[in-house]
Chain A
């Protein structure tokens, strides 16, 4: 089966900084995959390369077999990205934002799905509220909704729960678990290691642009009996 995401020998420099140092990785369809690492490890650069926001110096990335540069239209149709930064367009309300985002992906009438997303993210009451008037947590929910409007088979969540209250976190994970159960591939970066431990079937640990460990969550934990994922993380980062 074609992997959901294929990353082969990807290198990216920012000036003298080597942000990605020959990263190779396959993520299979239907996986709930965790990409963990300290700040500056290269997680966001890797995700941005996958999304076409960063152009790697070397290597190849593909989404469901479509090269992110040569076949960028097909690759991007299959990918939904929740960016790490809390960004929004202040001119529009929530529903307008989601309709516009649907249109960018070539979908004209998408209100049924938009309503379903709004309901699942507890945004229905905010549908006609301008983005400027939403709290940080609400804006984060809209970012998640924007990534889902085109029903992408591969969903990347770059620290989606940063600054989000417990209630929303639980609601969000419930929704994402459901999407995963329906066959969507989920790629998650987070600094909340307990979330990764509970959700991810497989995890890659990154440091200084390289993958230090890549295995199932169970195998990683088994290598450190009695420990938590946090213990695994700390010991791996000390290598």
Chain B
């Protein structure tokens, strides 16, 4: 267990030592989104009977949880691979399952820390209620874990920083931005509503938001099933890659 905890602690220190870049910067980005969209739309739009700024805040929180969980594990792995320092974690007797859990937990931790930071920074701008805190906790943890695992896949697969950037810009960003962070999918045309239901991030945001307002586009139980199934699938792929040593051990 010491190997696992050390790896987890190392991954925590890795982002905490540059917290200004890894925690404070995403909080500022979310705050800017809120100020801009909130200012433009707050007086014109209500979603599920909730003021737009209030509706937006949980979406921004969850978006940052997911994006930062992904960024943590992916950047750590690609950096270690490119600099060669990955050997320090490949030489010791750390089982691949411990390797997986340590990276994912550290990713969740960073995601949640950023999420809490976003909430603390934005809560002053709108009335926020918390109807079901357990749903908030469950969706942020499972969502963060899934994106942490996805970040591991990207970090293992990518051989250069631009490949990782492509993964992030062409998959992660569209998945998160088009998931209902900024809108309810019921404001979309029928076709795009249908498309949105194939986006697992939609269920994460929707379920997370339910915890705040007690209303959502789909029942939170359904969202939980979808998100848990996606997390299980991504975890199995990641564990398989780690076990096989693909792109880590020649």
Chains A and B form a bound pair? yes
A-side interface residues toward B, CB under 8 Å? 14, 48, 51-55, 72-77, 79, 81, 83, 85, 87-92, 96, 100-108, 146, 150
Q: Do the beta carbons of A101 and B9 come within 8 Å of each other?
A: no
B-side interface residues toward A, CB under 8 Å? 2-3, 5-7, 9-10, 13-14, 17-18, 80, 83-85, 87-95, 245, 249-250
Given contacts A52-B249, A103-B9, A105-B3, whether A76 and B85 have CB atoms under 8 Å apart is no
Given contacts A53-B249, A85-B84, whether A91 and B2 have CB atoms under 8 Å apart is no
Q: Do the beta carbons of A87 and B83 come within 8 Å of each other?
A: yes
Q: Do the beta carbons of A77 and B83 come within 8 Å of each other?
A: no
Once bound together, how far apart are the Cα atoms of A183 and B18, in whole Å? 43
Give, as a whole number of angstroms, the nearest-CB distance from A5 to chain B.
15
Give, as a whole number of angstroms, the nearest-CB distance from A81 to chain B.
6
Q: Do the beta carbons of A89 and B249 come within 8 Å of each other?
A: no
Q: Do the beta carbons of A53 and B250 come within 8 Å of each other?
A: yes
Given A48-B250, A85-B84, 18 additional A-B pairs, CB 8 A: A51-B91, A52-B90, A53-B87, A55-B249, A72-B93, A74-B93, A76-B91, A88-B83, A89-B85, A90-B83, A100-B10, A103-B3, A103-B9, A104-B88, A104-B92, A104-B94, A106-B2, A146-B88
List chain A residues, Cβ under 8 A from B9. Answer: 100, 103
Q: Which residue of B lies closest to A81 (CB)?
A: B91
Q: Do the beta carbons of A55 and B245 come within 8 Å of each other?
A: yes
List chain B residues, Cβ under 8 A from A72. Answer: 93
Q: Which residue of B lies closest to A100 (CB)?
A: B10
By DSSP majority rule, is chain B's interface helix, strand, loop, or mixed? helix
List chain B residues, Cβ under 8 A from A81. Answer: 87, 91
List chain A residues, Cβ under 8 A from B93. Answer: 72-77, 105-106
Given contacts A103-B3, A103-B5, A103-B9, whether A73 and B95 have CB atoms under 8 Å apart is yes
Give, as a whole number of angstroms, the nearest-CB distance from B110 to chain A.
14
A-B contact pairs, 9 of them (CB 8 A): A14-B250, A51-B91, A52-B90, A74-B93, A87-B84, A91-B18, A92-B13, A103-B3, A104-B89
Q: Do the beta carbons of B94 and A87 come within 8 Å of each other?
A: no
Q: Which residue of B lies closest to A74 (CB)?
A: B93
Q: Do the beta carbons of B249 and A91 come within 8 Å of each other?
A: no
Q: Which residue of A lies closest to B5 (CB)?
A: A103
List chain B residues, Cβ under 8 A from A87. Answer: 83-85, 87-88
List chain A residues, Cβ under 8 A from B6. Answer: 100, 102-104
List chain B residues, Cβ under 8 A from A53. Answer: 87, 90-91, 249-250
Give, as a whole number of angstroms, the nearest-CB distance from B206 to chain A.
36
Q: Which residue of A lies closest to B250 (CB)?
A: A54
Which of the residues A75, A83, A107, A150 comes within 8 Å of B84, measured between beta carbons? Answer: A83
| Closest 10 pairs between A and B when the two form their complex, measured CB to CB | A103-B6, A87-B84, A104-B92, A73-B93, A76-B93, A106-B2, A54-B250, A89-B85, A87-B85, A85-B84
List chain A residues, Cβ under 8 A from B250. Answer: 14, 48, 53-55
Q: Do the beta carbons of B249 and A104 come within 8 Å of each other?
A: no
Give, as a whole number of angstroms, the nearest-CB distance from A151 to chain B.
14
Q: Which residue of B lies closest to A99 (CB)?
A: B6
Given contacts A53-B250, A54-B249, A77-B93, whether A104 and B85 have CB atoms under 8 Å apart is no
Once bound together, how far apart are the Cα atoms of A52 and B90, in whole Å? 8
Q: Which residue of B lies closest to A130 (CB)?
A: B17
List chain A residues, Cβ under 8 A from B249. Answer: 52-55
List chain A residues, Cβ under 8 A from B10. Answer: 100, 103
